[in-house]
Amino acid sequence: MMTFEMVLEDAKLMANISSIISSIVAESSINVAEDGIRIKAFDATRISMIDFFLKKEAFDVKKYKVDDTAIVGLSLETLNTILKTAKADESLKMALDNETKRFVIEFAGKNQIRKFSLSLIDIPEEGNIPDSIHIDFDTNFEVKASFIQQVLKDAEMVSDYLRIRAKEDGIFFSAESDTKAMETFIEPQSEEMETEAFQVAEESEAVYSLDFLMNFLKGIRSSDYVKLSFNQEQPIRIIYELEDKGHLIYFVAPRIEESEEID
């Protein structure tokens, strides 16, 4: 008997999502409910937090069956290893076998089915994970993923940290070390910027770890857009909308004198 089961017609969608999340969180609880599936967790250092939601409507609604809300603990790294084998023509079924207490993954392609099962793991409860983080951001802008991915690659050649400075005329990205420096500037009117989404209520500046930013952004399709919001020396929020299917939201604490947790 299955506690829940659901079918996603595009297995590659879940494979891409798991690649991003597992690069940040090695293991986590997955909350399965009538309206969709959720993952909300800190990374091991508590410098960043991931907030993922995939709506019921993203699945084949006729094959989305949830008897009761379930919370399953999984190794996301192991899950990603399996999901990245997904082929373009395969659908994905995920289920919880109530008898074996295993998470079942099934790929269905033309004239073939591939099936895996994973043991559940106990995930310690993480304290202070908020239902949502409410910050009135002074700076909001939306850019193509390919642009910000190039900024990060450029900055990685120079430093371990990226400085972001927002002014009324645009956004400055910079990095520096004892021997090198880089800077990229983008105006609101740039073809890689959603001009109408650009908002700078007050000039702001903050520094963030390149590793944490890259872990999230490297897995996003270069043609997609991401929304970035930040304040002076406060966490940055990055939103990746999964079309009308759900979202991936990522928070990273700033580098001040010492790394800070997101409370």
pLDDT per position in the chain (263 positions), as tens?
568 999 999 999 999 999 999 999 999 999 999 999 999 999 999 999 999 999 999 999 999 999 888 999 999 999 999 999 999 999 999 999 988 999 999 999 999 999 999 999 998 876 566 666 677 899 999 999 999 999 999 999 999 999 999 999 999 999 999 999 999 999 999 999 999 999 999 999 999 999 999 999 999 999 999 999 999 989 999 999 998 899 999 999 999 754 445 55
Nearest to 204 by CA among 158, 236, 159, 177: 236
Cα distances from 151 to residues 28, 44, 95, 201, in angstroms, run 30, 26, 40, 23
Q: What's the CATH number where 203 sits? A: 3.70.10.10
Asked, for residue 244, whether it belongs to a domain, the answer is no
Asked if 234 and 35 count as a contact pair (C-beta separation under 8 A), the reply is: no
Q: How far apart are CA 172 and CA 159, in angstroms?
A: 16
Kindly state whether residue 83 falls inside one of the protein's structural domains.
yes
Contacts of 200 (CB under 8 A, 6+ apart): 138, 139, 166, 167, 168
Q: How many domains, the chain?
A: 2
Beta bridge partners of residue 229, listed in sequence order: 140, 237
Q: Kindly state whether residues 150 and 115 are assigned to the same domain.
A: no
d(CA 67, CA 2): 8
Pair (143, 98) in one structural domain:
no
Query: Based on the domain organization, do 7 and 113 belong to the same domain?
Result: yes
| Number of Cβ within a 10 Å radius of residue 108 | 17
Range of the domain at 55: 2-119
pTM exceeds 0.85, yes or no:
yes
